[in-house]
């Protein structure tokens, strides 16, 4: 307001200026501006052949929103024929520089994509990681799917597991013994590299809607617990 009067040429004496300036400074100290990075944000990252509206992603978003937790579903383009560069660009567009208040939930091809992104951006700290049907190396039984070269995509991913592990102590992984797409051993490999806590379900498939997963309460519990541990 003071700036308005100055710019408009209205007379402002020194006492008025000092009083207004002091009040403004006091108000700024009393109520520091809050940006998106000042509070927890959960990013949900889907995988191959999916959208942000598939499987258990919308349910998780709704459940977290009901708890007052800001949640963003990242819509990766052309998931039937993923382009590595475009997926990384989309992660950058929606996430930016990851912060200590950011918790990430990723599924399948989204996991290896996210791990590459974290390696590339090198945040000092993040809030936590929940990885579902994760893999960090080639899947021998699945070099390609639907004309999409899975091996070539994975080979583009450069993952510094040690660096990612240092970003957070909150890392939970979920796998299923009967996953016909990503073997549980590949998820176990990622868990070992990240020193994360691995949950293996006897039956769960690839945790898709056709496997019966339109809801995923254990993931919700893991995310809510991570958010609850973040500094206020």
115 inside domain = yes
Identify the residue with better confidence: 45 or 36.
45
Reply yes or no on whether the pLDDT at 70 is more than 60.
Answer: yes
Distance of CA 121 to the CA centre of its chain: 13
Structural contact between residues 161 and 194, judged by C-beta atoms closer than 8 angstroms? yes
H and E: helices and strands count for the chain:
9, 8
Mean pLDDT value of segment 6-19: 36
The residues facing 42 across adjacent strands are 71, 103
Reply yes or no on whether the pLDDT at 222 is more than 90.
Answer: yes
Cα distances from 144 to residues 51, 84, 140, 151, 208, in angstroms, run 20, 15, 10, 7, 19
Reply yes or no on whether the pLDDT at 24 is more than 70.
Answer: no
> Which uninterrupted H or E stretch holds 131?
strand 128-132
Can you give the pTM of this predicted structure?
Answer: 0.84
160 inside domain = yes
39 pLDDT band, cuts 50/70/90, is: confident
Structural contact between residues 75 and 172, judged by C-beta atoms closer than 8 angstroms? no
Reply yes or no on whether the pLDDT at 89 is more than 50.
Answer: yes
CATH classification at residue 53: 3.40.50.1820
6 pLDDT band, cuts 50/70/90, is: very low
84 inside domain = yes
pLDDT at residue 32 in the model: 32
* Residue range(s) defining the domain that contains residue 117: 41-229
232 pLDDT band, cuts 50/70/90, is: confident
- Helices marked H in 31-108 — which ranges? 57-66, 84-95
pLDDT tens digit string along 109-166? 999 999 999 999 999 999 999 999 999 999 999 999 999 999 999 999 999 999 999 9
In Å, the largest CA–CA distance within the chain is 78
20 pLDDT band, cuts 50/70/90, is: very low
Mean pLDDT value of segment 33-44: 68
The pLDDT mean for the chain works out to: 87
2 pLDDT band, cuts 50/70/90, is: very low
211 pLDDT band, cuts 50/70/90, is: very high
Structural contact between residues 220 and 63, judged by C-beta atoms closer than 8 angstroms? yes
29 pLDDT band, cuts 50/70/90, is: very low
Domains: count for the chain: 1
């Amino acid at each position: 307001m003071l700036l308005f009067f100055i710019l408009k040429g209205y007379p402002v004496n020194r006492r008025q200026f000092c009083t207004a300036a002091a009040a403004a400074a006091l108000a700024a100290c009393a109520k520091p501006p809050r940006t998106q990075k000042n509070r927890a944000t959960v990013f949900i990252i889907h995988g191959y052949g999916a959208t942000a509206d598939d499987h258990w992603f919308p349910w998780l978003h709704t459940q977290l929103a009901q708890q007052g937790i800001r949640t963003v579903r990242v819509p990766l383009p052309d998931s039937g024929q993923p382009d590595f560069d475009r997926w990384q660009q989309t992660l950058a567009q929606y996430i930016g520089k990851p912060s200590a208040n950011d918790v990430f939930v990723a599924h399948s091809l989204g996991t290896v994509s996210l791990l590459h992104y974290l390696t590339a951006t090198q945040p000092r700290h993040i809030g936590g990681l929940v990885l579902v049907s994760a893999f960090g190396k080639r899947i021998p039984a699945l070099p390609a799917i639907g004309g999409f070269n899975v091996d070539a995509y994975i080979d583009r991913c450069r993952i510094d597991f040690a660096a990612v592990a240092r970003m957070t102590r909150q890392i939970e992984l979920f796998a299923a013994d009967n996953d016909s797409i990503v073997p549980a051993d590949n998820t176990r490999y990622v868990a070992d590299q990240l020193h994360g806590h691995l949950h293996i379900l006897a039956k769960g498939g690839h945790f898709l809607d056709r496997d019966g997963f339109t809801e995923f309460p254990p993931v919700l519990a893991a995310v809510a617990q991570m958010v609850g541990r973040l500094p206020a």
